[in-house]
Amino acid sequence: MGDERPSRLGKPVREGAPEAGRDDTGEQTHVTLQDVARRAEVSLATASRVLNGTTQVRPGLRERVLAAAAELAYAPNAHAQALARASSQAIGLICHDVSDPYFATIARGVARAAAEHGLLVMLASTFRDPAREVDYIAMLRAQRARAILLIGSGFEDRDWERAMNAELEPYIRVGGRVAVISRHRSLRVDTVQPENREGAAALARALLGLGHRDFAVLTGPHALTTVSDRLGGFRDALAEGGVLLAADQVVEGAFTRDGGYAAAAELLGRRLRASCVFAVTDVMAIGALAAFRDHGVDVPGQVSLAGFDDIPIVRDLVPPLTTVALPLDEMGERVVDLALREPRGSRSRVERIAGKVILRASTAVRSPGDAS
């Protein structure tokens, strides 16, 4: 068995394996786009963009792909190109992480609505990698997906915005449809927009109404628009109520159960002063609840805890979680409906989705005499 050496993409390349485009006997075989991408050590999406004439590729990468194609005598498969030119009966669904119940529940609504239209759903998780999101868009363009749905938060990142628009605008010009969930600042597409800022503000006012005056927040990455909107709305509503959110009581973590656990543990390490903790997603709140339990902190006896989204599991926690409920299934159905409607000229449509504060047993009334 030959030795392995790492490629620039981190995938092993086996020494002694047949060359791309040749079989074990050394005879010439059909060279695929994957062969070209492998030889150039770029992603399949990058190779596709270069060979299909897209200009939004760095010169160095473009030269590597063209050199690899020439070296392998790559010729595009005419049959595959003919299929690609015909719009398929598939829609692409791109989310941050399908294992997250927030995205899984929205995806269920998407799948239900797509089935009613006889459409197949192709699902991809980016794991919050902006470059991977752009690559998936390129792949779906190459597949001539009938529509592309982005159901994750946008990024506060100018480079990502430029790269996304460079992929989406040519797709839309030739009849592709795009719709998104959540706020994407510069994407000129139809949007189902949950009112994250307003929902977080309403939650803050409800918690103030329970008598809390000392708060902490567990956030996700600040580059995500969902995080900035929920944190901003919560902080502003506290300020309107005369309460300042201390900087050292805001802890950033991954948008996961383990991220919530780690952020809550870090908060405890900073000496928790808050009587109430807000996690900007329910998944983070689940991790925080476990961290408080493992550290002997009673919820809600010693600290109240609230989340956001109302994913299905939170009503079955012990104690059940106070949260801001969004109609996640309905959001999935509505984003499909937007994507399949006839476009309204150059104007984008925005459908706003209000959240509803649901007080459950994870938050308790705080009397003026209670100690923090």
| Burial of residue 27, with CB atoms counted within 10 A of its CB: 0-12 exposed, 13-18 middle, 19 or more buried | exposed
One digit per residue, the tens of pLDDT, for the chain of length 372 reads 333 333 333 333 333 344 444 444 444 456 787 888 899 998 877 887 787 765 567 888 888 988 888 888 887 654 444 444 445 789 999 999 999 999 999 999 999 999 999 999 999 999 888 889 889 999 998 888 999 999 988 887 788 888 888 888 888 888 889 999 998 877 788 999 999 999 999 999 999 999 999 999 999 988 889 999 999 999 999 999 999 999 999 999 998 999 999 999 999 998 888 999 999 999 999 999 999 999 999 999 999 999 999 999 999 999 999 999 999 999 999 999 999 988 776 678 999 999 999 999 999 998 765 654
Asked whether 106 and 328 are in contact (CB, 8 A), the reply is: yes
pLDDT at 354: 97
Q: pTM of this prediction?
A: 0.75
pLDDT at 102: 95
Distance CA 264, CA 288 (A): 5
pLDDT at 28: 46
**The pairing of beta strand 323-325 with beta strand 356-358:** antiparallel
Asked whether 354 and 203 are in contact (CB, 8 A), the reply is: no
Residue 211 is inside which H or E element, if any? none
Distance CA 121, CA 233 (A): 34
- What single letter denotes the amino acid at residue 261? Y
Q: For residue 196, what are its two tokens? A: 């994250």
pLDDT at 77: 57
- What single letter denotes the amino acid at residue 143? Q
Q: Kindly report, residue by residue over 24-58, the tens digit of the pLDDT.
A: 444 445 678 788 889 999 887 788 778 776 556 78
- What single letter denotes the amino acid at residue 111? A
pLDDT at 79: 43
Distance CA 286, CA 281 (A): 9
- 305 phi, psi to nearest 5 deg: -140, 135
Q: Which residues of 130-155 are buried (b: 16+ CB within 10 A; e: fewer)?
A: bebbbbbbbbbbbbbbbbbbbbbbbb
pLDDT at 371: 52
pLDDT at 345: 65
Q: By C-alpha distance, which of 204, 205, 181, 180 is closest to 194?
A: 181
pLDDT at 313: 95
Number of Cα atoms under 13 Å in the Cβ half of residue 336: 25
Distance CA 136, CA 124 (A): 8
Q: Kindly report, residue by residue over 205-216, the tens digit of the pLDDT.
A: 999 999 999 999
Distance CA 288, CA 115 (A): 37
Conformational region of residue 10, where left means phi above 0, alpha means psi within -120 to 50, and beta covers everything else: left
